Amino acid sequence: MAPRLILASASPRRRELLGLLGVPFDVQAADVDESPRAGEPPAAYVERLAREKALAIATKAPGALVLAADTSVVVDAEILGKPGASLQEGGRMLRRLSGRAHEVMTAVSLSSWGEGRGEGVVVTTLVRFKPLTAAEISWYLSTGEGQDKAGGYAVQGHAGLFITSLSGSSSNVIGLPLAETVELLLRAGYPLPWSGR
């Protein structure tokens, strides 16, 4: 019998993506401090947060398999967080991304408390924006779409109008790299609909 699978995330986008696998899972958001540590490289930052989120839920759910993820947009080695309701911060981020490529890094962590099981992976996708006009930036900010998104934009929404190329996993940019998530689950022995277990 498959262990209980828990998604340690409040993100509706991650919930939708994990749902594509056709397996039952529960959702329990993890509450961890998401502040970067001094001098912490972006890949290490997302890896640490995903691991901490998974462990925070796994400690309260013995026997369950807990999947967590964390996504950051990185430009010039700077982590761009979520702008929130600040139009000024959202505009600053979009101007940084305008006309250039940036990295989207997502760490996925799979943990099971008490069984010594804990695996993770960091996936990077290169995304290029077209040069943005002031009017385009103002319009996009008015949609409110990017307020709760890393880097201040949603690739699956209106911001798709600005993206000229994407190299790597597209689901990674949305928040959960599916191919790598499948591999983690299979390595943990979790039965997927096509795995015959």
- Tell me the one-letter amino acid at 108: V
CA angle 158, 161, 166 (to 5 degrees): 110
Answer whether 93's CB lies under 8 Å from 84's CB: no
Answer whether 75's CB lies under 8 Å from 100's CB: yes
Q: Can you say whether the dihedral through the CA atoms of 137, 122, 34, 20 is positive or negative?
A: positive
Answer whether 145's CB lies under 8 Å from 159's CB: yes
Tokens of 132: 């943005």
Does the annotation count 33 as an active-site position? no
Helix (H) or strand (E) holding 172: helix 170-174
Helix (H) or strand (E) holding 71: strand 65-75
> Which candidate in 26, 31, 33, 70 is catalytic?
70
- Annotated catalytic residues are 70
